[in-house]
């Protein structure tokens, strides 16, 4: 193709180049379809093998390491962990929330890539298998301590319509076989069909508003009201379930837009209300460990100055604290571990400011230590001696 393009009007024509490009595209599509078919057949075979193993061992006492997942993990148990190093910047706190019945929560703020919670780490060797992370995730899949992750996305749903970070997430999910749930493409297709019903309900509900109230809105608000009846809007959340990710069972996909780049959002912003819905869903579905982006951004940008980061983090901290106090009255599972995720690449000074702000907003549990002064101890000893002398 390069030779044909360089030699246009000499050894090739424009029509010939177009025909050659079409042939390359057809060949690429055919090759891609063949590889997809082979991968799907391999995954289906692995699912059958895993199901057969479960049916054979359901009544016998077997150790987790005897499972197909365990055999993969045992090969890499003693391997190098150089690629699984934790985040360089992190701080942990223990807090108590509640007015009467106080509940203890573990809170951590860290700087890391959001994909680190999803990507199964592999060794540098050619035939390397996933590390035991996948086995640990699978063992906790049907427990009452599930792990959730908030992933910011756009309004597009589907493996082919997704872009940016959502596309990377789908690639991570498709890099290994999903044994327990439908694959991520089928889950997103189901969500896409279900969302149509929700949008239809929102449209009917919006039509009940009076024309007078609609005309009182500004042009921007009217445009937003019209678009909300056609697509997902900021703050909407849909869920996917996974057993083949590193540290996540449930992913909360929250729809966001460019308004989050502004420094003027408040507690009534749709994304903040979306976090409230996520915490409520986590409380109802036994999700006891939740990771969410404290700046409502997954990557650092130019407008994210020190003042911008401090103001955004303070808003999220205060709102999440209020939601957690409110969550105590909802019932359901208790959120034991809450992780605030800061974009990777943030400066240490900004991270230190955020880590210092967190215990000032949340009530950190610090033990009270009482020390008896030497003079007081001496007086008490003298009193006891005088009392004994009087008795004598």
Between these two residues, 345 and 20, which has the higher pLDDT value?
A: 345
Q: How confident is the model at residue 70 (pLDDT cuts 50, 70, 90)?
A: very low
Residues 23 and 143 in one domain: no
Mean pLDDT lowest for which of 15-19, 129-133, 164-168, 247-251? 129-133
Residues 51 and 107 in one domain: no
Q: How confident is the model at residue 255 (pLDDT cuts 50, 70, 90)?
A: very high
Radius of gyration of the chain (CA): 28
Residue indicated by tokens 């056609």: 230
C-alpha distances (whole Å) from 171 to each of 105, 112, 141, 372 are: 33, 19, 21, 62
Would residue 82 count as lying in a domain? Answer: no
Q: Which two tokens stand for residue 70?
A: 């365990």
Helix crossing, 306-327 with 270-284: angle to 10°? 40
Query: Which pLDDT score is estimated for 273?
Result: 94
Between these two residues, 344 and 227, which has the higher pLDDT value?
A: 344
C-alpha distances (whole Å) from 179 to each of 112, 168, 193, 247, 287 are: 28, 20, 23, 16, 20
Residues 294 and 243 in one domain: yes
Query: Which pLDDT score is estimated for 205?
Result: 72
Phi-psi region of 9 (alpha: psi -120 to 50; beta: other; left: phi over 0): left
Q: How confident is the model at residue 81 (pLDDT cuts 50, 70, 90)?
A: very low
Mean pLDDT lowest for which of 71-85, 132-146, 293-307? 71-85
Q: How confident is the model at residue 175 (pLDDT cuts 50, 70, 90)?
A: confident
User: Which SS3 state, helix, strand or coil, does residue 286 take?
Assistant: coil
Residues 53 and 169 in one domain: no
CA 361 to chain centre: 23
Q: Which domain holds residue 38?
A: 17-57
Query: Which pLDDT score is estimated for 268?
Result: 92
Mean pLDDT lowest for which of 40-44, 125-129, 281-285? 125-129
- Number of structural domains (the chain) is 2
Would residue 331 count as lying in a domain? Answer: yes
Query: Which pLDDT score is estimated for 104?
Result: 86
C-alpha distances (whole Å) from 24 to each of 11, 18, 376 are: 19, 10, 91
Query: Which pLDDT score is estimated for 162?
Result: 65
Query: Which pLDDT score is estimated for 82?
Result: 38
Cα separation, 118 vs 296, in Å, equals: 18
Residues 110 and 253 in one domain: yes
Give residues with Cβ within 8 angstroms of 91, minimum separation 6.
Answer: 108, 109, 110, 355, 358
Q: How confident is the model at residue 114 (pLDDT cuts 50, 70, 90)?
A: very high
Residues 32 and 165 in one domain: no
- Assess whether pLDDT exceeds 60 at residue 138: yes
Give residues with Cβ within 8 angstroms of 210, minimum separation 6.
Answer: none
Mean pLDDT lowest for which of 133-137, 241-245, 304-308? 133-137
Query: Which pLDDT score is estimated for 375?
Result: 57
User: Smallest Cα–Cα separation from 46: which of 176, 203, 229?
Assistant: 176
Between these two residues, 83 and 316, which has the higher pLDDT value?
A: 316
Residues 279 and 320 in one domain: yes
Residues 171 and 43 in one domain: no
Q: Which two tokens stand for residue 314?
A: 């303070």
Mean pLDDT lowest for which of 24-28, 119-123, 156-160, 209-213? 209-213
Cα separation, 121 vs 67, in Å, equals: 20
CATH of the domain at 306: 3.40.220.10
Query: Which pLDDT score is estimated for 76?
Result: 34
Mean pLDDT for the chain?
77
Residues 98 and 24 in one domain: no
Q: In what order do the strands lie in the sheet with 103-111?
A: 89-97, 103-111, 337-342, 287-293, 146-153, 250-255, 237-241
Residues 23 and 171 in one domain: no
Residues 163 and 263 in one domain: yes
Query: Which pLDDT score is estimated for 307?
Result: 94
Would residue 350 count as lying in a domain? Answer: yes
Would residue 379 count as lying in a domain? Answer: no
Would residue 386 count as lying in a domain? Answer: no
Helices (H), 218-305: 219-228, 270-284
C-alpha distances (whole Å) from 57 to each of 53, 62, 105 are: 6, 7, 38
Would residue 64 count as lying in a domain? Answer: no
Would residue 4 count as lying in a domain? Answer: no
Mean pLDDT lowest for which of 30-39, 101-110, 211-220? 211-220
Would residue 268 count as lying in a domain? Answer: yes
User: Smallest Cα–Cα separation from 300: which of 264, 256, 344, 263?
Assistant: 344
pLDDT in tens, 201-242: 887 776 655 454 555 555 555 555 555 555 788 999 999 999
State percent of the chain over pLDDT 90: 32
User: Which SS3 state, helix, strand or coil, does residue 82 take?
Assistant: helix
Residues 23 and 112 in one domain: no
Mean pLDDT lowest for which of 24-38, 166-180, 215-229, 334-348? 215-229
């Amino acid at each position: 193709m390069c030779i044909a393009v360089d030699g246009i009007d000499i050894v090739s024509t424009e029509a010939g180049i177009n025909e050659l490009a079409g042939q390359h595209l057809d060949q690429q599509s055919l090759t891609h379809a063949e590889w997809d078919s082979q991968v799907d057949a391999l995954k289906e075979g692995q699912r059958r093998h895993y199901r057969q193993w479960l049916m054979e061992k359901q009544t016998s006492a077997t150790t987790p390491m005897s499972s197909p997942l365990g055999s993969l993990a045992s090969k890499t148990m003693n391997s190098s962990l150089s690629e699984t190093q934790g985040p360089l910047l992190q701080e942990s706190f223990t807090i108590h929330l509640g007015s009467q019945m106080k509940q203890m929560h573990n809170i951590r703020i860290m700087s890391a890539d959001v994909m680190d919670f999803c990507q199964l780490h592999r060794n540098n060797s050619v035939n390397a298998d996933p590390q035991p992370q996948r086995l640990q995730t699978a063992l906790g899949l049907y427990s009452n301590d599930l792990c959730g992750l908030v992933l910011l996305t756009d309004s597009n749903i589907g493996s082919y319509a997704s872009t940016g970070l959502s596309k990377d997430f789908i690639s991570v999910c498709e890099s290994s076989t999903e044994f327990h749930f439908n694959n991520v493409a089928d889950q997103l297709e189901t969500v896409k069909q279900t969302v149509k019903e929700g949008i239809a309900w929102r449209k009917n509900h919006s039509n009940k508003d009076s024309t007078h109230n609609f005309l009182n809105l500004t042009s921007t608000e009217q445009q937003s009201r019209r678009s909300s009846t056609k697509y997902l809007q900021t703050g909407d959340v849909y869920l996917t379930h996974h057993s083949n990710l590193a540290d996540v069972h449930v992913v909360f996909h929250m729809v966001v837009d460019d308004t989050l780049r502004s420094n003027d959002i408040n507690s009534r912003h749709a994304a903040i209300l979306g976090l409230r819905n996520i915490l409520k869903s986590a409380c109802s579905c036994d999700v006891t460990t939740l990771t969410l982006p404290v700046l409502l951004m997954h990557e650092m940008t130019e407008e994210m100055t020190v003042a911008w980061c401090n103001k955004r983090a303070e808003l999220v901290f205060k709102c999440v604290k209020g939601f957690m106090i409110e969550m105590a009255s909802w019932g359901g599972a208790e959120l034991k571990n809450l992780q605030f995720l800061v974009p990777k690449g943030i400066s240490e000074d900004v991270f230190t400011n955020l880590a210092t702000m967190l215990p000032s907003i949340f009530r950190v549990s610090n033990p009270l230590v009482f020390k008896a002064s030497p003079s007081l101890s001496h007086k008490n000893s003298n009193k006891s001696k005088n009392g004994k002398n009087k008795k004598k």
